[in-house]
Structure 1
Amino acid sequence: MKTISRLRYFLYLSILFVGCTTGKNALQKGDYDAAVSKAVDRLKSSPQNKEALEVLPVAFDLAIKTHLRKIDEAKVSADALKWESILYRYQRINQLSDEVNACPSCLRLVPNPPKYVKEYEDSRYQAAEARYVLGERALRENNRQSAKAAYNHFVKAESLYPSLKGIKDKIEDAYWAAVLKVVVQPAIINSNTYRLSNDYFQQQITNYLATYRGNTFVRFYTEAEANKQKLRADQLVELHFDDFIVGQTYVKERVEKLRRDSVVIGEDRRGNKVYGSVTATYSIFEKQVSSSGLLNFAVVDLNTNKLLQNRKLAGTYVWVDSWASFKGDERALDKQQFALTRKREMMPPPPGNLFVEFTKPIYAQLVDNITSFYSRY
């Protein structure tokens, strides 16, 4: 009984598989395009497949009629983007015909499959023209959001019909009307000592902003660039260090009493090893040099003079060194402890380097804040 059940199960799967590969199931579900494609694929590998031979002419006829009906409906609709739907329908008809033309056995069932090349090209132009008109209409509204919409319309128009007259200029005009222009002031620090280190921090910011790709419609400028281009900026980013401390030093000492048993401490008269305990006083020194700062990050709307963002970004860097000494028997120390006693106290990095180090976490926060804030534009 189990054998019969398995045979029925595999027979069912075989019938289902054949139905899927011949397009019969797709035809029954009304997916005529898929039915055509599956039947064509089946007939390429098996030109005498009975089910595929039955499916193809019926599915192809229904697919073409459906697309043509949808085209007629779209032409009389009020949808401003109807030509894109019409273009898609002509494209699908042509693709289906190409599939049939590439299958010799299929051509006996569907001779001379129709191609709508001129209609397809006309639809491309009409679709691009419709986008162009929508873009011009949006651009005349004279605000950033409408300019963004106009830009997207013009880009789509170019993708539909690249040779459309004047389209590249329209894309350029819409883009710059949509762009938010932001001037970033250099980070201000009231210290000549750390001027070079701050210049390095500022250069990191400048490099990031020059390669910023977080939002297509936001462009950043240095003050020098803005002045050179006589730019009318929309926003100003202000950066300045409210406070910073470089090189605060702390030294800690920890003393441990060490003892190790079963250590050879000598020999008796007979030359036998004598075991005992050894001890040592172990002193561990740790020096921490802490540097920290607080950067104020503010964004001002230059049209309304409104403060849009104001945050304090904190950064800290702690340089650590450790060494040790001992009194007593060195055999009471393990290898790591003994190695630390061979180490000598190190000099901390120069103050300028410490300044750069504590600005690294500040830079990371600044990048995150800029990315998050300008993603909304």
Structure 2
Amino acid sequence: MKNISRLRYFIYFSLIIIGGCTTGKKALQKGDYDASVLKAVGRLQNSPKNAEATQVLSTAYNLALQDHLRRIEEAKLAADPFKWESVIYDYQKINQLADEINSCPACLNVVANPSKYIKELTDSKYSAAVARYDSGLALLQQNDRLSAKKAYYEFEKAQNFYPNYKDAKAKMEDAYWAAVTRVVVQPILVNSRIYKLSADYFQQQIDNFIGDYQKNKFVLFYSEQQASSQKIRPDQVLSLNFDDFVVGETYVKERVEKLKRDSVVMGETRDKKVIYGTVKATLSIFDKKVSSSGLLDLTITDWQSQKIIRQQKFPGTYIWQDSWASYKGDERALNNQQLMMCRRRETVPPPPGALFLEFTKPIYNQLVNDITYFYNNY
């Protein structure tokens, strides 16, 4: 059995090696010249005298080089202002093939001096940066938020292609602030001293959310205090108000059950014989529910036009429950669960402030999901 297991392992391991060391001939036949070169290089690194890999590398490299150079020339003739990005891609591919061959001594016997286009690649990146920079300037001049957002990414691409190109970094900053939507969040007003502490906690949860919001860098939230101290002119105002809320509506329901149990030991006779009988009881079960609910209104208004951009309402409900029981009659008519209920006493419900906080929890979850969804791609 051990020999069979070793044989299976050897076969499996051999298949992995063979599969990982193809000569690249199939890729060459399919016209995938880059893949053919890379596979041939890999084979020659493991088997420097492999004749098939040597032949494949020689053929595939020449075809790959000519294919990339052809694409580069075609791209340069195109009218597309962003054609240089295609040129960059092909130069990078050519240089990558050269690097792979240079890392393989046996491959250098086949392709002695693989071509590298370092200056051409740098020049192409410069031209690509120019195109993106000019596009960003044109977009920025349109003086609207969406165009400024696009301009931001154009300047960012220019920076990536050619770091420190002109004032691309400064223009990127200008575009960002032109694209940003500043949202002032008004505090929730609850005209009740009883619920003030809980309402303040609910408000703090919202403040924490907007303070940590990072889903869309082009949306900035400010509290009224922050906006005032920083002299922020808002683009939008987000207001939150309870249309209505009710705390502590109490409902008590009583259910009465007639209980009877037969064959209960009642005692015994003088001659010690057990006497069986029937016992009865009336069980009263009390179910108490304390309901608290509210409806929060979210309104987002454009600061300049005063038009409502979005309005949503979020309901929330919390029901506190309690159960207990009492009985009249013979307790032997009750089962263990019923006896336990009878030993319980009515529980005092949570204070109003705690009930208020509980019904706002589902409201908070709906609220933050809606705000996130609305502003994520704004």
1:206 partner letter: D
Is the 8 Å Cα contact of residues 21 and 42 (structure 2) preserved in structure 1? no
* TM-fit CA distance, 1:269: 4.6
| Gapped regions of structure 1 (runs ≥ 5) | 1-13
Q: Give me the whole-angstrom Cα distance separating, in 1, the residues matched to 2:291 and 2:282.
A: 29
Cα distance per residue 1:79-136 (max 9 Å; x no partner): 2112211111111111111111122221111112122222222322332232222112
1:80 partner letter: P
* TM-fit CA distance, 1:168: 2.7
1:151 partner letter: Y
* TM-fit CA distance, 1:63: 0.6
* Comparing 250-259 and 143-152, the one that deviates more: 250-259
Tell me the TM-score normalized by structure 1.
0.89
* Comparing 132-141 and 278-287, the one that deviates more: 278-287
Give 1:145-294 correspondences, 5 Å limit.
Answer: 145-271=146-272, 273-294=274-295
* TM-fit CA distance, 1:48: 3.2
Give 1:280-359 correspondences, 5 Å limit.
Answer: 280-359=281-360
Tell me the TM-score normalized by structure 2.
0.89
Residue 112 of structure 1 aligns with which residue?
A: 113
Give 1:366-377 correspondences, 5 Å limit.
Answer: 366-377=367-378
Q: Give me the whole-angstrom Cα distance separating, in 2, the residues matched to 1:106 and 1:56.
A: 8
Distance 1:157 1:333, change over 3 A: farther
Any idea what SS the aligned residue of 1:22 has? coil
Is the 8 Å Cα contact of residues 20 and 26 (structure 1) preserved in structure 2? no
Cα distance per residue 1:128-155 (max 9 Å; x no partner): 2322221122111111111011111122
1:233 partner letter: P
Distance 1:76 1:334, change over 3 A: same
* TM-fit CA distance, 1:316: 1.3
Residue 4 of structure 1 aligns with which residue?
A: none
Is the 8 Å Cα contact of residues 40 and 106 (structure 1) preserved in structure 2? yes
Residue 51 of structure 1 aligns with which residue?
A: 52
Is the 8 Å Cα contact of residues 67 and 89 (structure 1) preserved in structure 2? yes
* TM-fit CA distance, 1:370: 1.4
Q: How many positions carry a matched residue from both structures? A: 363
Residue 37 of structure 2 aligns with which residue?
A: 36
Any idea what SS the aligned residue of 1:158 has? helix
* Residue identity (%): 60
* TM-fit CA distance, 1:350: 0.9
Q: Give me the whole-angstrom Cα distance separating, in 2, the residues matched to 1:74 and 1:275.
A: 104
Residue 6 of structure 1 aligns with which residue?
A: none
* TM-fit CA distance, 1:262: 4.2
Q: Give me the whole-angstrom Cα distance separating, in 1, the residues matched to 2:65 and 2:264.
A: 97
Residue 5 of structure 1 aligns with which residue?
A: none
Is the 8 Å Cα contact of residues 289 and 322 (structure 2) preserved in structure 1? yes
Q: Give me the whole-angstrom Cα distance separating, in 2, the residues matched to 1:261 and 1:137.
A: 94
